[in-house]
Amino acid sequence: MGIHDDAVQGTLDSSQLAKYIASDPNLINALEPSSGRSPLALAAVAGFPDIVELLLKRGAKADALSRDGETALLLTTRDGSANRARIVQLLVGKMSPSAIDATTTGDRNKTPLMYSMLNKDRESLRLLVKAGADKNAVDDDGLTAAAMAPSSGYALALDPDKEQSAFSQLTNLVGSFLLYIVAWVNKTAKGVMNKLFGLNPTLNTTIDEQVNDGETPNKIQFLDNVDEYINDPKNKYLAQFFKDKPNYIQELAAKATALKEDSNTPIGQGDLLPKTIKVTLHQQVIYCDDSSSMKRDGRWDAQARLVKKIAEITTRVLPEGDGVALRFINQDTDNSEKLTLDQIGNTINSMSWKPGGDTPIGTNLKSKILQPMVYDKLEPKTLGRPLLISVITDGMPSQEDDNAFVDAIKECGVKLDQAGYPRQSVKFMIGQIGTARAATTFLQSVGNNDDIKDMVFVTADKLDDNLSKFKDNQYDLDRWLLETLFSPIQNSTV
């Protein structure tokens, strides 16, 4: 075995690499006689990002050429078998801008960007464009990357500023539309919603013109106009949200009236209502820790109160028939994705921590949530709403690899992208209950992981501490919790 064999087989580690470099410093960039490729290029094509990262840190030249003149980036985008996007990210971070588009006559001058397009690798396309790849480069057949696109969606990936998925349009359009409904009712009902909510959103005149055609309809006419507007083919993303929800507008008005008596919550007020709407447009999933350590220090009771409060806040604007999914690490419960507030309460009240329960948090995140609620819906394109998964835990993983949780989130991002959905279609809010230092360290490492930062928000607050802090102030508790739930999606394009 030598450095090249270890690189291509995925067995090269830091101690082995140190020995190779000590014996001959030139080995790290040496070309293997048979393939004519460096250890970096071999590891990159074989799909081992950890080894690619290790080699780059120890001085491997990202711009170095193989015997046939290819860069590791060109080889990865052309022949890479796995983890291409992550490896592209590592390589372009160490390459000079002039090498990003380097190609060969043997490749008929196809660039890494072109190969990423031909391989339908959206994430690599985005990374290469961000790194400065030339979108107008032409190969020997006179084709640009855009001309090689298998569909308009892939061509759009070449322009990140314009790339908006159906999910992006869903949340943005529906959010704006619901705020318009509130403003219209407020205006025509002499401020009734302002009295109820303490809000007065500005009427979106553009939407109003489209809905009402410049007229001032009565309530019945308004509802007819809204129905016609929703079902207009130009507003297909609104139709997607309101499908099978014919009474949503009426239900919204009823829920607004019900809030009249609720003086303890601020979530319908002007500064929070847009956040409330955007949070509740996501499918809520609450993932609870039921390991045996949850019996300590009142952790289970704190989690139960937190689950009920999350469900209460995130169902206030939802139509009847929608709801929240509740899952536990160890125990199985009703696998519905639409549990009502009462069902959530009954479930959590009937359960407790599991004696001898471990914390395979990553393994069961995949099997209980990501597989049935995300992956099974990708191919048939039935993922109707983006997900917001609230993860509550008091400890470190057990009975699984320490990286299983992060790896599950990484895999989710990759699968979404491969299926044509944005990575941010699934977001995670992760919080700790209890004071275990090992758990704090673990969660900090999750939050600081560059591979999943765009999908994850780890709150620095101890969830049970804030429950106690706001025990006698439900108003501030609602505000804190809504702001916490909004944090992972506040900068999201979805």
Query: Does residue 185 sit in the same domain as residue 330?
Result: no
pLDDT confidence bin for 127, thresholds 50/70/90? confident
Q: Alpha-carbon distance 158 to 122, whole Å?
A: 9
Any domain includes 110: yes
More confident residue, 210 or 94: 94
Tokens of 303: 């989690």
Query: Does residue 234 sit in the same domain as residue 293?
Result: no
- Stretch 247-273: mean pLDDT, rounded? 62
Neighbours of 120 (CB within 10 A): 16
Q: Alpha-carbon distance 155 to 120, whole Å?
A: 10
Any domain includes 86: yes
Q: What is the pLDDT of residues 440-486, one digit of tens each?
A: 999 999 998 888 988 999 998 889 888 888 888 888 998 899 899 98
Query: Does residue 217 sit in the same domain as residue 100?
Result: no
**Final residue of a domain: which of 125, 156, 187?**
156
Any domain includes 396: yes
Query: Strand 283-288 vs strand 324-328: parallel, antiparallel, or unpaired?
Result: parallel
Q: Alpha-carbon distance 451 to 447, whole Å?
A: 10
- What is the SS3 assignment for 46? helix
Question: Does 187 have pLDDT greater than 80?
Answer: no
Q: Which long-range contacts (CB under 8 A, 24 or more apart) does 246-251 make?
A: 247/319, 247/320, 248/319, 249/181, 249/223, 250/223, 251/319, 251/320
**Within the chain, what is the greatest distance between any pair of CA atoms?**
85
For position 34, what pLDDT does the model report?
92
For position 194, what pLDDT does the model report?
47
Any domain includes 263: no
More confident residue, 243 or 428: 428
CATH of the domain at 44: 1.25.40.20
Question: Does 372 have pLDDT greater than 90?
Answer: yes
Contact 316, 281 (CB under 8 A): no
Q: Alpha-carbon distance 37 to 75, whole Å?
A: 10
Q: Alpha-carbon distance 48 to 273, whole Å?
A: 45
Question: Does 156 have pLDDT greater than 60?
Answer: yes
Question: Does 155 have pLDDT greater than 90?
Answer: no
Query: Does residue 150 sit in the same domain as residue 174?
Result: no
Question: Does 385 have pLDDT greater than 90?
Answer: no
Helix and strand counts by DSSP (H, E) for the chain: 24, 5
Query: Does residue 41 sit in the same domain as residue 120?
Result: yes
Identify the bridge partners of residue 430 per DSSP, sorted by sequence position: 391, 458
User: Torsion-angle region of residue 41: left (phi > 0), alpha (psi -120 to 50) or beta?
Assistant: alpha
Q: H or E element: which one contains 350? A: helix 341-350
For position 193, what pLDDT does the model report?
43
33's CB contacts (< 8 A; 6+ apart) are none
Any domain includes 264: no
For position 213, what pLDDT does the model report?
79
- Stretch 486-491: mean pLDDT, rounded? 81
Tokens of 448: 């600081």
Tokens of 153: 């969606």
Question: Does 327 have pLDDT greater than 90?
Answer: yes
Question: Does 17 have pLDDT greater than 70?
Answer: yes
**Final residue of a domain: which of 124, 156, 188?**
156
Q: Alpha-carbon distance 284 to 427, whole Å?
A: 10
Query: Does residue 288 sit in the same domain as residue 383?
Result: yes
Query: Does residue 72 sit in the same domain as residue 151?
Result: yes
Query: Does residue 402 sit in the same domain as residue 283?
Result: yes
Query: Does residue 285 sit in the same domain as residue 425?
Result: yes
Any domain includes 262: no
Residue-range definition of the domain harbouring residue 26: 3-156
Q: What is the pLDDT of residues 37-88, one digit of tens each?
A: 999 999 999 998 889 999 999 999 999 999 999 999 999 999 997 888 889 9
Q: CA 446, 448, 452, 456 torsion: positive or negative?
A: positive
Question: Does 260 have pLDDT greater than 50?
Answer: no
Query: Does residue 250 sit in the same domain as residue 365?
Result: no
Q: Alpha-carbon distance 459 to 488, whole Å?
A: 9
Query: Does residue 401 sit in the same domain as residue 454?
Result: yes
For position 192, what pLDDT does the model report?
46
Any domain includes 20: yes
Q: What is the pLDDT of residues 220-257, one digit of tens each?
A: 777 788 778 877 777 766 766 666 666 666 666 556 54
Q: CA 131, 134, 140, 145 torsion: positive or negative?
A: positive
Q: What is the pLDDT of residues 339-356, one digit of tens each?
A: 988 899 999 999 888 887
Measured CA distances, 82 to 43, 333, 378 (Å): 11, 35, 20
pTM reported for the whole predicted model: 0.61
Query: Does residue 343 sit in the same domain as residue 419?
Result: yes
Mean pLDDT value across the chain: 83
Q: What is the pLDDT of residues 117-126, one digit of tens each?
A: 998 887 788 8
Total structural domains within the chain? 3
Any domain includes 271: no
